[in-house]
């Protein structure tokens, strides 16, 4: 979650004074409020950014027309995020998004005044806006309204981050956190407090109670998955991999992205065990020859560069061990030995896996290939332990080959 403090005052010096206190308290984003911009002009955004270069500065322009012009103006004066009204014309919003992309900033669309918030939120998401704000205005608050009910509906309707604003304080913030808000905007509860720094810290303490629950939940979920992987490993597959390694002249390891990092960690440990091992792509990697082994790591089994390497290894007369979630993938079919690391669901197929990564449609607590890579890392650590026992290598023996030029 992100704490955005709305500086809805009319004097820039007063705004900066409050901002200094809330920044010390840990506030993430500083909002140059609409009243402040109307009073001081766009220079208020520039002054705030100069004073707080380490904070995101939100220009609450509430743009209703000329989206491109106003977003460009805000961007040139240092804004990181610009607010547009959801009741604005679609062209205004689309133009704002286009210009924001050009300047590398973000657009937040405020749903204040929008009748059907869920419908509009979906439309805005399709237009490419970055954040949606569920906002209960001061006049609406005076009539007893709050943003909670609308917030829950909008959060469920869209996949982009949802912000919330409207009379939030220490009592109501836990409710909007529970409802799924990503950005929590607080104004008067902080800016009108006797000690803005202290209130800011207390609000962030509420955030951290949720943060720790999230971290613990993720660790537990990943651990549970790895336990499932451990119990599903097939003896013949792991045995085939280890036998191929022991018999190989040279071992080459190849993986892309995070899988590549897992492979490099494995290669380092094999070097410590005196194996003749190389990482594909490094400048000192020699030619692959007959009698060599390629250990190829790819969750989908369809990563083009990994598949190409496997084909070359086979053409050179070597062997391939494929570590993948899909034994019937292209890599799986090319491999002499396949070690299966179960993916998320039995219904997944390699093409779905790739599409999900490209479209960023994945489980939030285990993004991209996290479960595959974490599981593979521990499998390979297990293989290292087995090889240590097999060759009677101690940790002391391995340390003799550990890098000293570091």
Q: Please identify every residue annotated as catalytic.
A: 373
CA-closest candidate to residue 110, choices 130, 81, 137, 84:
84
Measured CA to CA, the distance from residue 380 to residue 245 in angstroms comes to 12
Measured CA to CA, the distance from residue 181 to residue 161 in angstroms comes to 7
Burial of 43 (0-12, 13-18, 19+ CB in 10 A): exposed
CB 319 within 8 A of CB 336: yes
Helix (H, G, I), strand (E, B) or coil at 185: strand
For the chain, how far is it from start to end, CA to CA, in angstroms? 37
Cβ-Cβ contacts under 8 Å for 232 (sequence gap 6 or more): 340, 342
* Number of other CB atoms surrounding residue 309 within 10 Å: 23
Whole-number Cα distances in Å, 87 to 15, 114, 344, 356: 28, 6, 40, 32
Across the chain, which distance is largest between two alpha carbons, in Å? 80
CB 80 within 8 A of CB 55: no
Measured CA to CA, the distance from residue 178 to residue 162 in angstroms comes to 13
CA-closest candidate to residue 320, choices 245, 261, 379, 259:
245
Burial of 125 (0-12, 13-18, 19+ CB in 10 A): middle
CB 252 within 8 A of CB 297: no
Measured CA to CA, the distance from residue 95 to residue 101 in angstroms comes to 10
Measured CA to CA, the distance from residue 71 to residue 85 in angstroms comes to 12
CB 177 within 8 A of CB 1: yes
Measured CA to CA, the distance from residue 339 to residue 125 in angstroms comes to 40
CA-closest candidate to residue 316, choices 248, 242, 270, 398:
248
């Amino acid at each position: 979650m992100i704490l955005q403090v709305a500086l809805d005052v009319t004097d820039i010096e007063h705004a900066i004074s409050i901002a200094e206190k809330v920044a010390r308290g840990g506030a993430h984003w500083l909002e140059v409020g609409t009243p402040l911009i109307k009073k001081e002009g766009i220079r208020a955004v520039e002054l705030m950014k100069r004073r707080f270069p380490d904070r995101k500065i939100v220009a609450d322009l509430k743009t209703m027309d000329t989206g491109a012009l106003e977003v460009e103006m805000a961007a040139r004066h240092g804004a990181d995020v610009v607010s547009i009204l959801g009741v604005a014309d679609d062209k205004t919003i689309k133009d704002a998004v286009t210009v924001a992309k050009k300047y590398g900033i973000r657009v937040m669309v405020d749903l204040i005044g929008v009748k059907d918030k869920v419908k509009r939120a979906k439309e805005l998401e399709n237009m490419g806006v970055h954040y949606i704000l569920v906002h209960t205005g001061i006049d609406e608050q005076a009539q007893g309204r709050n943003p909670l009910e609308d917030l829950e509906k909008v959060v469920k309707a869209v996949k982009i981050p949802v912000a919330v604003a409207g009379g939030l304080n220490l009592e109501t913030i836990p409710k909007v956190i529970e409802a799924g808000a990503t950005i929590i905007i607080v104004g008067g509860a902080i800016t009108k407090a006797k000690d803005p720094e202290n209130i800011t810290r207390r609000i962030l303490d509420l955030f951290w109670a949720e943060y720790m629950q999230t971290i613990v939940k993720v660790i537990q979920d990943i651990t549970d998955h790895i336990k499932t992987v451990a119990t599903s490993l097939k003896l013949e597959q792991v045995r085939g991999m280890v036998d191929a390694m022991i018999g190989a002249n040279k071992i080459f390891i190849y993986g892309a992205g995070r899988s590549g990092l897992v492979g490099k960690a494995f290669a380092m440990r094999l070097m410590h065990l005196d194996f003749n091992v190389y990482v594909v792509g490094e400048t000192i990697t020699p030619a692959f020859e007959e009698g060599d082994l390629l250990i190829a790591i790819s969750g989908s089994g369809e990563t083009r560069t990994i598949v190409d390497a496997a084909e070359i290894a086979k053409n050179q007369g070597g062997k391939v061990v494929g570590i993948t979630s899909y034994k019937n993938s292209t890599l799986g079919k090319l491999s002499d030995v396949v070690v299966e690391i179960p993916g998320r669901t039995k219904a997944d197929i390699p093409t779905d896996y790739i599409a999900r990564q490209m479209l960023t449609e994945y489980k939030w607590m285990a993004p991209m290939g996290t479960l595959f890579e974490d599981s593979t890392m521990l499998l390979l650590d297990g293989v290292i332990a087995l090889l240590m026992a097999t060759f009677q290598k101690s940790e002391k023996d391995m340390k003799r080959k550990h890098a000293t030029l570091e």
